[in-house]
Amino acid sequence: MNKQEIVLQRAIELAKLGAGSVSPNPMVGAVITHQGKIIGEGYHQKYGEAHAEVNAIADVFLKHENAVELLKEATLYVTLEPCAHFGKTPPCSDLIIQHQIPEVVIGCTDPFSKVNGKGIEKLQNAGIKVTTGVLEQECLALNKRFFTRVEKQRPYIILKWAQTLNGYFATKDGPQKWISGKEAKMLVHQWRSEEDCVLVGKRTAEIDNPQLNVRLVEGKNPKRAVIDRDLKLDKKLHLFDNSIETFVFNKALTDVKENVKYISIEDFDFFLPQYLLYQLYLQDIQSVIVEGGIKTLEMFISAGLWDEARILVSPIAWEDGLKAPEINGIQESIIPIGKDKLLTLTPQHP
């Protein structure tokens, strides 16, 4: 790594600290250097609050009495193009210009229409030296959820399930039977804390009565979503306990009852996953974990609407059961999680 990449790698590490707290905004980290030394750093900590660049500049003022002079000779490193528009906060590009920071190094540009190149253009017009594309692929990967939502007008989709060594997903009859070990269960709760929403089908809601929260780890609970075509689910289920905002996708009703939002989907039996995702997009949902059941997972697979599949494979084998979904993709990794293995796939794009 060269010097620019080393500093920007630190900015990426800072950005990740905002995971689970900044959606639907992107995660962004910023580092400010003076004569090769870091004098301030910051990241976007919470949606609607100060951006990374603002926090990094504030950090310089907090740590250095001569901050005004230092900034006039500094370089600002940021993982994503500084914004150029008024949103929840003022434009970061204006703040950079105001403090006369002479050089800015950017990981990747922002595809959001109100930014996309405008932040860079504003900086350059003010005489600031701008370098782009440093650790670009890493910075793009950092905000793959944000970019998916902006470019495809749908949330980033993670398919998740557990299966036995010989490919069974669930029992054919009878009660729920755990497949994964305790380490895998905790990891799933950690995943939930990092995403905006968890989606299940009607049968999973009936049989498992899931809470879909993060009770095994510290972090925020995701919003919940369930597909209930004819609104037949028992209101005594955990999904209707009003503890978390919950979307109920159905054929007939659009209404809000306490913390439950009923959303009617037109042409319910056709193009259902596309309609579901667009409705979640309209609700500012940036990422969704689809946790089952089999029909719901297969619906997204057959429609080609997924960005990542996380499959927990147990070392145990069953004599019988319901077969796990079949999915084709590029194997990104396979790692041990306790006694289980986590297989991660991404789609094969033509």
Annotated binding site for substrate: 192, 212, 215, 291
Q: Which of 53, 81, 194, 308 is catalytic?
A: 53
- Kindly state the helix (H) or strand (E) to which residue 333 belongs, with its residue range: strand 330-337
Question: Is 195 a residue of the active site?
Answer: no
Distance CA(104)–CA(89), nearest Å, equals: 20
Annotated binding site for Zn(2+): 51, 83, 92
Annotated binding site for NADP(+): 162, 178, 204, 208
Q: Please count the helices (runs of H) and the strands (runs of E) in the chain.
A: 11, 17
DSSP, collapsed to helix, strand or coil, labels residue 287 as strand
Annotated binding site: 51, 83, 92, 162, 178, 192, 204, 208, 212, 215, 291
Q: What is the DSSP string of 107-168?
A: EE---STTTTTHHHHHHHHTT-EEEE-TTHHHHHHHTHHHHHHHHHSS-EEEEEEEE-TTSE
Residue 203: count of CB within 10 angstroms of its CB: 15
The sign of the torsion formed by the CA atoms of 320, 325, 331, 333 equals negative
Residue 48: count of CB within 10 angstroms of its CB: 9
Beta strands across the sheet bearing 75-80: 37-43, 29-34, 75-80, 103-108, 129-132
Distance CA(297)–CA(309), nearest Å, equals: 10
Residues involved in catalysis: 53
